[in-house]
């Protein structure tokens, strides 16, 4: 009685698991042949389990079994090896294209079924069967039947293992579980048939087949539930993506990650979440936001267009560029997965940026040469009139002083005061004209010198410590004059070399320091600092003076603007920007807030450092 109860529990458990798996497969949206054949295998096991359970219950009540229930269960078992072969073929190739393949595979089970149906005429399958269906004597065809069943089942397992090792050089957990689930009933059948044919004294319990099929069910359940067996890619397709050198991820329509190559784990390891199978959980980092939007968008569309885009990633604080290609994978015109390829474009983008920088430098250099030639011509044509005008203003000033002296002597009673006022007004205009002439001359000279210094091609290099020493010496008088102190902070080795002209960078940094001194009305502290950054050397010139208006700050590098009125030309930062980009391939920026001070940031790229 206890043994019968155990059998009933095992059968009920197996039937429940079979129903669960059938509903699981039924819920799949994009079903494939793999899903349908897998469902057929589980349905056969379910029907065999139901007939076995029915016979046990009837036998425990009446003492005998019903022949037609036994017959039905036998036919189910006949077709199970054939459906296993179909399942293994679909695991490898994803589709059985020709109906002839199904027909050929089903010839032996159909033949055995016909032999069983017509057994009463020829007795080749079963010679004798007792009334309670408990005693059976098999005929000659039974040997053929057992042989093809064992060959089919063995072939299914060997076929699956062979192609798994051929294409992937390994057995995945899904394949191992499926193979193990198939092997267990085969092993039992081998022992049973060997015992029957050779009359070996091997005693097996009646429930051995029930337990073996229950084990198969458990293996399938674990493979489907835990390792997403039904969502896996065909082995042949997986062998193709294994040869892709780029990083890639393969996901199904339910966002389960089917494949993720080592390259992807190596490249994106620091920003992905490990030990997760859901695509959106693995790609939780902000770097993947745009990618997840693309995936969500194309899944909502009826068509499945491939998408190619470029994106910047920050991995371990390093800027990387990848071309991302989203490809829909089809097998025999059936959509099965999404392949996301990541091609590293970092070096390519760096080359493009370098080419852009070189192009900008060439344009800037050509512009400076044109400017130099233009200013040279203007200077040559304007120097004479400017000198003549300066001489004329000087003569006018001498004559004005003499006239003023004479009128002052004659103005005892104040009758010539009006003329003295006119002369005072003339003197103011003379001073203004003189200042404007000096201003024009200085601008022409400065532009010509700056342009000439920037079009030189001689490659030079200098030490950072040497640069700081020159700045301190050259600016000593200017700093004392403005009652300012320079706080030099060197957070980098003094013998670090920078390629370029030390005079140009000294002039640029010096002008920035002089600008900082002019931001104070009564003197103050100016910080000059050098730091080593991933991008190169960062020079910082900081003051705590009056700052500059936002409108001036926004155009300080693009136009000749100044905050100093007639005391400034606006050339300093304008040419500093050109020189930093053209000579040092660096960058310059400015941070300023009125009332709080100004900070000039100059970066010389790390590639320029020896």
Contact 76, 69 (CB under 8 A): no
Q: Does the pLDDT value for residue 595 go beyond 70?
A: yes
- Torsion sign (Cα): 131, 134, 140, 144: positive
The gap between the terminal CA atoms of the chain, to the nearest Å, is: 89
The SS3 assignment for 328 reads: strand
CA distance 449 to 273: 58
Chosen CATH of 461-605 out of 3.40.50.11540, 3.40.470.10, 3.50.50.60, 3.30.565.10: 3.30.565.10
Give, in words, the CATH class of 1-231. mainly alpha
Q: What is the pTM of this model?
A: 0.47
> For residue range 118-149, what is the model confidence (pLDDT) as tens digits?
988 888 888 888 777 777 788 888 889 888 88
User: Could you tell me the two tokens for 238?
Assistant: 């997986």
> For residue range 269-324, what is the model confidence (pLDDT) as tens digits?
888 887 777 888 888 888 888 888 887 777 666 566 788 888 888 888 888 888 88
- The residue assigned the tokens 């009646």 is 206
Instruction: Please tell me which residue, 105 or 273, carries the higher pLDDT value.
Output: 105
> For residue range 158-195, what is the model confidence (pLDDT) as tens digits?
888 887 776 655 667 777 887 888 788 777 777 777 77
- Torsion sign (Cα): 390, 392, 396, 399: positive
The SS3 assignment for 530 reads: strand
DSSP label of 254: T
DSSP label of 496: -
**pLDDT of amino acid 600:** 92
- Phi/psi region, residue 523 (left: phi>0; alpha: psi -120 to 50; beta: rest), is left
CA distance 200 to 206: 17
Residues contacting residue 156 through CB under 8 Å, at least 6 positions apart = 81, 84, 85, 87, 88, 182
Contact 25, 38 (CB under 8 A): yes
Look at strands 525-533 and 485-491 and give their pairing. Answer: parallel
- Averaged over 222-244, what is the pLDDT? 63
**pLDDT of amino acid 208:** 73
CATH no., domain 236-349? 3.30.450.20
> For residue range 206-219, what is the model confidence (pLDDT) as tens digits?
667 777 777 887 88
Instruction: Please tell me which residue, 201 or 152, carries the higher pLDDT value.
Output: 152
Q: Which helix (H) or strand (E) holds 184?
A: helix 173-198
User: Could you tell me the two tokens for 544?
Assistant: 């705590």
- Averaged over 264-270, what is the pLDDT? 83
**pLDDT of amino acid 328:** 80
- Lowest-pLDDT choice from 94-103, 130-139, 155-164, 372-381: 372-381
User: Could you tell me the two tokens for 540?
Assistant: 């910082």
Domain parsing of the chain, residue ranges? 1-231, 236-349, 356-455, 461-605
CA distance 321 to 376: 45
Confidence band of 368 (pLDDT split at 50, 70, 90): low
Q: How many Cα atoms occupy the beta-carbon half-sphere of 61 within 13 Å?
A: 7
Pick the closest to residue 520 from 505, 542, 540 (CA basis). Answer: 542
Q: Does the pLDDT value for residue 565 go beyond 50?
A: no
The secondary structure of 352-415, three-state, reads HHHHHHHHHHHHHHHHHHHHHHHHHHHHHHHHHHHHHHHHHHHHHHHHHHHHHHHHHHHCCCCC
> For residue range 49-94, what is the model confidence (pLDDT) as tens digits?
888 888 888 877 777 777 778 788 888 888 988 988 888 888 777 7
Contact 526, 516 (CB under 8 A): yes
Q: Does the pLDDT value for residue 39 go beyond 90?
A: no
**pLDDT of amino acid 410:** 76
> Matching CATH topology for 1-231 and 236-349?
no
Residues contacting residue 534 through CB under 8 Å, at least 6 positions apart = 317, 318, 606
- The residue assigned the tokens 């192609």 is 163
Average pLDDT, the chain: 78
Confidence band of 104 (pLDDT split at 50, 70, 90): very high
- Averaged over 507-523, what is the pLDDT? 88
Contact 543, 600 (CB under 8 A): no
Instruction: Please tell me which residue, 225 or 520, carries the higher pLDDT value.
Output: 520
Task: Considering only the C-alpha atoms of the chain, give the largest distance between any 2 of them, rounded to a whole number of Å.
Answer: 162
Q: Does the pLDDT value for residue 227 go beyond 80?
A: no
Q: Does the pLDDT value for residue 579 go beyond 90?
A: no
- The residue assigned the tokens 């000033």 is 397
Burial class (CB in 10 A: 0-12, 13-18, 19+), 549: exposed
**pLDDT of amino acid 443:** 67
């Amino acid at each position: 009685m206890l043994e019968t109860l155990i059998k009933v529990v095992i059968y009920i458990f197996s039937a429940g698991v079979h129903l669960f798996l059938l509903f699981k497969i039924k819920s799949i949206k994009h079903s494939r042949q793999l899903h349908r054949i897998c469902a057929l295998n589980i349905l056969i096991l379910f029907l065999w389990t139901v007939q076995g359970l029915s016979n046990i219950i009837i036998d425990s009540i009446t003492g005998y079994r019903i022949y037609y229930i036994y017959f039905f269960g036998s036919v189910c078992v006949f077709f199970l090896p054939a459906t296993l072969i179909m399942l293994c073929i679909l695991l490898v190739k994803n589709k059985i294209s020709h109906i002839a393949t199904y027909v050929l595979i089903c010839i032996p089970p159909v033949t055995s079924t016909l032999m069983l149906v017509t057994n009463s005429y020829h007795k080749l399958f079963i010679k004798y069967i007792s009334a309670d269906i408990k005693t059976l004597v098999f005929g000659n065809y039974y040997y053929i039947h057992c042989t093809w069943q064992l060959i089919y089942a063995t072939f299914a397992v060997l076929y699956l293992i062979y192609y798994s090792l051929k294409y992937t050089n390994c057995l995945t957990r899904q394949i191992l579980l499926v193979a193990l689930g198939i092997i267990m009933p085969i092993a039992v059948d081998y022992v049973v048939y060997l015992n029957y044919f050779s009359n070996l004294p091997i005693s097996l319990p009646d429930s051995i087949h029930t337990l073996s099929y229950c084990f198969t069910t458990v293996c399938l359940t674990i493979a489907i539930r835990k390792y997403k067996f039904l969502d896996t890619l065909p082995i042949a397709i997986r062998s193709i993506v294994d040869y892709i050198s780029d990083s890639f991820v393969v996901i199904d329509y339910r966002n389960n990650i089917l494949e993720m190559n080592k390259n992807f784990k190596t490249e994106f390891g620091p920003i992905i979440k490990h030990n997760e199978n859901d695509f959106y959980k693995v790609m939780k980092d902000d770097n993947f936001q745009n990618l997840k939007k693309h995936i969500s968008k194309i899944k909502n569309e009826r068509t499945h267009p491939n998408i190619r885009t470029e994106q910047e990633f920050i991995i371990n604080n390093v800027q990387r560029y990848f071309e991302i290609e989203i490809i829909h994978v089809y097998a025999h015109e059936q959509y099965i997965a999404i392949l996301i390829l990541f091609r590293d474009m970092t070096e390519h983008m760096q080359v493009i940026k370098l080419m852009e920088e070189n192009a900008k430098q060439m344009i800037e250099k050509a512009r400076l040469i044109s400017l130099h030639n233009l200013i040279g011509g203007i200077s040559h044509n304007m120097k004479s009139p400017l000198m003549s005008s300066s001489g004329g203003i000087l003569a006018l000033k001498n004559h004005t002083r003499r006239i003023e002296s004479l009128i002052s002597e004659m103005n005892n009673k104040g009758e010539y005061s009006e003329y003295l006022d006119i002369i005072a007004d003339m003197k103011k205009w003379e001073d203004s004209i003189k200042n404007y002439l000096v201003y024009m001359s200085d601008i022409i000279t400065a532009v010509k010198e700056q342009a000439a210094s920037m079009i030189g091609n001689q490659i030079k290099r200098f030490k950072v410590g040497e640069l700081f020493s020159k700045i301190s010496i050259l600016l000593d008088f200017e700093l004392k004059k403005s009652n300012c102190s320079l706080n030099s902070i060197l957070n980098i080795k003094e013998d670090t070399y920078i390629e370029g002209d030390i005079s140009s960078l000294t002039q640029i940094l010096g002008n920035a320091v002089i600008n900082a001194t002019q931001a104070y009305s009564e003197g103050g502290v100016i910080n000059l600092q050098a730091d080593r950054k991933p991008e190169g050397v960062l020079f910082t010139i900081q003051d705590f003076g009056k700052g500059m208006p936002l409108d001036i700050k926004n155009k300080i590098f693009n136009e000749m603007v100044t905050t100093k009125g007639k005391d400034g030309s606006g050339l300093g930062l304008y040419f500093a920007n050109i020189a930093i980009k053209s000579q040092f391939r660096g960058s310059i920026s400015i941070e300023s807030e009125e009332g709080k001070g100004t900070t000039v940031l100059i970066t010389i790229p790390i590639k320029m450092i020896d």
